[in-house]
Amino acid sequence: MDSRTRSRGAKGRWVLAMGAASTVMTSSAVVACAAPDVRPPDRSDEVATADAMVARARFDTIAWLNEGSRVAHGNGVYAAACTECHGYLGDGVTEYATRRGLKVPSLVRRDWRLAGDIAAVRARVFSGHAAGMPTWGLRGDARLSLRDVDAVAFYVMTQLRDDALAPPRPTLKVRR
């Protein structure tokens, strides 16, 4: 074997090694692209996705036997899903929220910005908020259906708030 053949042989092996390396690089790039994204969704992305969905929801097609059944259903949803943060009275004063440093707004203030706007309340319940309100419409098995969302919004508007259908609070007369 002369020196020329030896060097050609060496070069051939080098090219082969490069080929193998680039195959490894290409296949790992393919794996990286195909791998599922397992990161939890960013909260603001999740809220934006839910906003787009709830904007198309047809709440007006949800039928209730009567107002009482809508209220009763909403009461159950509120007790199960909302009281921990918003409180039974809707004033937002709860130990849970305080412990977590959550700023939970009162749903019963007279000058509430959402007063009378049930569509906005449904949308907020469905989508939540990055500041600590869960995205109820997209919580997997624990999600609220559109029917649940409608009922709980109706419950907040007509039962928790005393400026709507709820009877006025009695005023105590103190005898002197």
| Site of interaction with ligand HEC (CB under 6 A) | 77, 81-82, 84-86, 102-105, 107, 113-114, 121, 124-125, 129, 131-134, 136, 152, 156
Between 6 and 129, CB nearer to ligand HEC: 129
b/e 85-117 (16+ beta carbons within 10 angstroms → b): bbbeebebebeebeeeeeebbebbeeebebbee
The least distance separating ligand HEC from the CB of residue 164, rounded to whole angstroms, comes to 14
The least distance separating ligand HEC from the CB of residue 75, rounded to whole angstroms, comes to 11
Angle CA(131)–CA(112)–CA(89) in degrees, nearest 5?
80
The least distance separating ligand HEC from the CB of residue 86, rounded to whole angstroms, comes to 5
Q: Which of 83, 94, 87, 81 is nearest to 137 (CA)?
A: 81
Between 54 and 133, CB nearer to ligand HEC: 133
Please state, as a whole number, how many other Cβ atoms lie within 10 Å of the Cβ of residue 60: 8
The least distance separating ligand HEC from the CB of residue 54, rounded to whole angstroms, comes to 13
Between 25 and 80, CB nearer to ligand HEC: 80
